[in-house]
Copies of this chain bind each other. A is one copy, B any other.
Amino acid sequence: MTVKPAATRFVPTREQYAWTFGGCEPVMRIQPGEILDLYTEDAFAGQIRSSDDLPSRSITYPFINPQTGPFHVEGAEPGDTLAIHLIDVQPARDWGVSTTVPLFGALTSTKFTPTRDRRVVTYSALDSVPRTELPLEPFLGTVGVAPAAGEARNVLVPEAFGGIMDTPEARAGTTIYLGVNVEGALFSIGDGHYTMGEGEVCGVAVEGSMDTLLTVDLVKGVYCEWPRLEDDDTIMVAGSYRPLEDAFRIAHTQLVRWIAEATGLSVLDAYQLVTQGSRSPIANVCDANYTIVAKIPKRYLPDVDWMGGTHRRLRGIATATRDPQG
């Protein structure tokens, strides 16, 4: 019988919320391989609970999108890469919320009901009759580390350090690789989404608090310039910039480069493979930078150990955690 690893639970107090990446003191020091069980508040800091709670009254910018963290990872040094493996991401409440803020100041708040057992989110239109069920697809809108060059960035800006990328790929089963810029890496997470269309068109997904189980590892001496993601089937890079084509260019250039370095394919051949075999899901077109993910199935590529096999190792820890009898 395997002993199930113990998870460290952390629920931030209101005073512990982080509002920037960089420039915050760590809330905790952790070891690579340690399991964390983290609570994240929703993007409205839990202040919008009914269609009477108008964002304009309940929320004071910039105190939107509180992060849980930052966590100092022992041994992480500038020039390394931090690997964060999401073991489980589950709604912590039985309701989520979204709002629409159209150009002329009108405003609606819409309450969604995620039914965890049936794995759906029910949408009740505010102005119109019909009800709709969308699949429950929980993920973290925000995963990031302290930025480079001494910067501290607001939690509404995604960039090379990660942050509010708003990609549904940041879900259970995915490993996120982020280049380490400061001692301890100082990562935070937040902005749980119960479901979201691509691009987060109106700027607000079905927002909700989350319970996230994760573990981390370090890839020493390798620095990812932009966030890489890996799950069992695909490798991905997230690019975040403006205009949107620059996000696209960053993501695909980095993906081509990663494939060429890891497989020994020439850059031009990697470029051809990406051209014919990649997918480019738009993550957000609403934040301070826009995000696009370039992804390609591993089965189209030579069989190599991506990032030194880190994802597979963390997956093993995750399996042991979720299934103690494993």
Contact = CB atoms under 8 A, between A and B. Distances in A.
Given A150-B62, A269-B125, A275 B134 contact: no
B20 A205 contact: no
Contact of A245 (B125, B243, B275): B243
A127 B203 CA distance: 36
Interface stretch (A26-34, A36-44, A103-111): A103-111
A275 B128 contact: no
Contacts of A248: 199, 244, 282, 285
B264 A128 contact: yes
A19 interface: yes
Interface string A134-151: 100000000000001111
A79 interface: no
Contact of A197 (B22, B268, B277): B277
A9 interface: no
A265 interface: yes
A22 B275 contact: no
B278 A201 contact: yes
A154 B157 CA distance: 14
In the complex, which range does the number of interface residues on chain A fall in? 35 or more
A276 B98 contact: yes
A198 B242 contact: no
Contacts of A264: 128
Given A23-B150, A103-B103, A123 B204 contact: no
B202 A275 contact: yes
A266 to B, nearest CB: 4
Given A197-B275, A276-B196, A290 B127 contact: no
A77 interface: no
Contact of A108 (B98, B197, B198, B268): B268
A194 to B, nearest CB: 9
A195 interface: yes
A274 B201 CA distance: 7
20 contacts: A19-B150, A23-B23, A62-B148, A98-B272, A102-B268, A102-B271, A106-B268, A126-B269, A127-B269, A128-B269, A130-B265, A132-B273, A132-B277, A134-B300, A151-B151, A195-B276, A197-B296, A198-B280, A241-B242, A245-B290
Interface of A: 19-20, 22-23, 61-62, 98, 100, 102-104, 106, 108, 110, 112, 121, 123, 125-128, 130, 132, 134, 148-154, 195-206, 241-246, 248-249, 252, 264-266, 268-269, 271-282, 285, 290, 292, 296, 300-302
